[in-house]
Structure formats: C-alpha cells, structure tokens
Structure 1
Amino acid sequence: MKNQTEPAIELIEHDGEVTLSIGGEQAMQAWERDLMWASADMLCEHGHDFYEVGLGLGLSALRIARNPATRSHRVLELFDEVEGLFRARHPEVPDNLTIERGDFFQRIFELPSESYDGIFFDPALDMHIWTDKDLWARTMPEVVRVLRPGGVFIPFFSTKPELRWQYVTHFRTIRVERHPYVAYDTTEYTHGTSGDAYIQCFRKD
C-alpha cells in the first residue's frame, strides 16, 4: 500500500493520448511537448549549466540536455517510479544529463550559491503547497541565491495571463512569451482545452 509520499504512479496510453498520472491526478500529458520545448529553448539561451525540478515525461529534460549550449543538466525527481517510466521509454540519454532523487523544498537549501545558469521548475505539487505563502517566502530567495547573475528561473507554462505570485516579487526582469496550445479533450488541469499559454522567464539581475 502506498503512503502519502508514495502515490500511485502510472503511464496511461489510450486513444493516442499519453498521460503521466500521479496519485490519480494528471501530472503531465504528451500534448505539452511544444510548450515544454519552447521553455527549454528559452532556458538554454542563458548559459550552460542547468537544473530542473520534476522529470515528468522527460520532454524538457531531453530537450535541454540535447541543446548544443548545454554543458550539464541535473534533474531532481521525487519518485523512483517516474524515473523508471522515463528510462523504460528512453534507455539511452545524453551523457550530460543526470537524474537525482530528492524533495525540492529541502534540496534548494543544499545547492551551492551561483551554481546554475537556469532552473526549469515543473514538479507535481499538491494545492496546499502552491498556496503556502510562508513556504514560498522561504524558498524563492534560495532559488535566487543558487542562480548565477543573469540566470533565469522558468516555471511550467500557464494558461492564464497573469504572473505567478509565488515568484514575481523576487525578480525585477520578467519575460513572457505567448504560445497557442491545444490540449486533449480529457485534459483537466488547463483553463480550457485550447487557447494561449504563457511562458514566464524570471531573470536574476
């Protein structure tokens, strides 16, 4: 029986749709590919050493690692099962890609200062974490500390045209790109199944 830190994790492939399910919730779907690639490409404009939180289907991880600019890319994943599913689909990965296990809200305090040019942030988090103002107030200064000058923090895309309160007060320079998207009819985590998605890039000045 799974406990709270070990939810049921499965890869569901049905009628041409690919869904990573964590704890019965849609954590990620394959239709996101173009948005994840656009986010990864934006990240790679800003240096050579990158860190990613949340492996998911590995769409952004592989895109970042395969970018000619990338020297190293480390991915932090909380669950063994997610990495297992990824490696089953991708038995060979770039040499500059490493995957490690851990909880972001602990690991960020352990990372060296000014050690990364960019952080891509796309973990599967429960709603009570997203709404915990004290947690984000403690965490985001550590994110800024870990970034090199000119480095960027890119969270997963939003389908609402608003800056995320968790991050916005910690950065002065913010770049936003709008991209069209079409999700699956069964997608539950977007505001509608088509429209515009917004990639937000927060830069450390």
Structure 2
Amino acid sequence: MEQSTGAIAADSAEPEIELIEKDGEVTLSIGGEQAMQAWERDLMWASADLLCRHGQDFYEVGLGLGLSALRIARNPATRSHTVLELFGEVEELFRTANPDLPPTLSIERGDFFQRIKELPSESFDGMFFDPALDMEVWTDEELWARTVPEVVRVLRPGGVFIPFFSTKPELRWQYVEHFRRIHVERHPYQAYDTTEYTYGTSGNAYIQCFYKD
C-alpha cells in the first residue's frame, strides 16, 4: 500500500482483518485501514514480471490479496517463491479464494524484521516488498538503516529488491542509500474513488527496482 495511517506496527497484536466486497470494489482491511485493493492488479503484475526477469528464486513480504504472489509463482522462470505473511487470517482468506496453489509457491508466517536476520546470505534472486506497517515503522530511520543491509545480504549478486509502487515520483529514502543502481518504470493507474492510500485516485505510479551489484 502507498501510505499508512493506521496502527499496524511490526510488533502489534493481530488486528481485525476483513475482506470487503462492495459496489464492485474489493478491499483487504487490516486494523480498519485499507491494506490493499483489487484495482492494484496491473501494478502488482508489472512489479512481479519485472522481478521475474532477474532469476528463479524469489521472496515476498506481505501476502495481501495474493495478486503478485500468484503472478510470480506462475511465471515460467520461477523455481521457487516464498511469501512471508504476518497475519494468519490474511493467509486463510487467500487460501479460501485460491484452493489450488502452484507448487512453486510456499507461504510462511512471521515478522519481517526478525525473519530477515534469519534468512541465509545470497539465497534469493529477488524480493518483492509490500507489507502492511504502521507509519511509525515506515519513518523509523534507525530501523531501516539496520534492516536494509540485511536485505542486501540475502540477495544474490545481480539480485533485485522491488518495493510496492509509489504514486509520488521520488525514490524511497528507506532503500536508496543501500543500492547504487536503480531502475524506475512509470505506469498509469486508476484507483477506486474510495481509495485512501494513494496521492490522488488516478495518474502515474512508479515501480522502483533496486539492484545489488
């Protein structure tokens, strides 16, 4: 999601989670906030396709509606795709909607900020990053200064890190100091009129791909 105004902290108790389908709109709500919506599909797919150009073993943080997870897992280039999800109910909703999952896909439970320290070095060709986090977490400079080097460590040489799209044309400060080469793609988007987490409900979205040299 683009920006968070809720209370979804990395160490919080499990919040209320709901899949809302109303007036043709599909929203995953976590803690009363819009965590993800179905209109994001094309942007999720574009991010997934970009990731899959760079190897065969991938990791994703945040399952959401599973749009990118299924796209990555079903790509012919993919050998393995592991998704880390913090909330059990999100996984349950996804499995109910998608009972026949591709064999390349595995889902594990856990908190990213702990799990990233446990993953083996140079174990993945790419990581897609789209967790639901509280704004206090997103703005914690010390946390990201500790965490992003761990992301770099986990990537293989030439691997990529792709965070969720932005609707502001600026590089994400959490990651930019840790990568020398960055690729940006611009894509048009049209959100729902009720979407609260983008900077406007239509315009350009930017997919940022950070390369490990």
Q: TM-score normalised to the size of structure 2?
A: 0.95
Do structure 1's residue 186 and structure 2's residue 194 form an aligned pair? yes
2:159 aligned counterpart, secondary structure: strand
What are the ranges of 5 or more consecutive residues in structure 1 without an aligned counterpart?
A: none
**Which residue identity does 1:123 align to in structure 2?**
P
Do structure 1's residue 71 and structure 2's residue 82 form an aligned pair? no
1:96 corresponds in structure 2 to 104
2:35 corresponds in structure 1 to 27
2:150 corresponds in structure 1 to 142
1:5 CA displacement: 1.7
1:5 corresponds in structure 2 to 13
The CA distance in 2 between the partners of 1:97 and 1:87, in whole Å, is: 12
Do structure 1's residue 54 and structure 2's residue 62 form an aligned pair? yes
**Which residue identity does 2:135 align to in structure 1?**
M
1:143 CA displacement: 0.2
What are the ranges of 5 or more consecutive residues in structure 2 without an aligned counterpart?
A: 1-10
Do structure 1's residue 162 and structure 2's residue 159 form an aligned pair? no
2:92 aligned counterpart, secondary structure: helix
The CA distance in 2 between the partners of 1:88 and 1:176, in whole Å, is: 35
2:168 aligned counterpart, secondary structure: coil
Q: Which has the higher contact order (CA 8 A, sep 6+)?
A: 2
1:178 CA displacement: 0.1
2:134 corresponds in structure 1 to 126
Match of 1:112 among 112, 120, 127: 120
The CA distance in 2 between the partners of 1:58 and 1:50, in whole Å, is: 14
2:7 corresponds in structure 1 to none
1:1-20 superposed Cα distances (whole Å, 9 cap, x missing partner):
xx942100000000000000
The CA distance in 2 between the partners of 1:146 and 1:6, in whole Å, is: 27
1:108 aligned counterpart, secondary structure: helix
1:109 aligned counterpart, secondary structure: helix
The CA distance in 2 between the partners of 1:102 and 1:120, in whole Å, is: 16
The CA distance in 2 between the partners of 1:161 and 1:14, in whole Å, is: 31
Q: Percent identity?
A: 83
Match of 1:42 among 50, 65, 78: 50
Match of 1:86 among 66, 90, 94: 94
The CA distance in 2 between the partners of 1:204 and 1:176, in whole Å, is: 15
Q: TM-score normalised to the size of structure 1?
A: 0.98
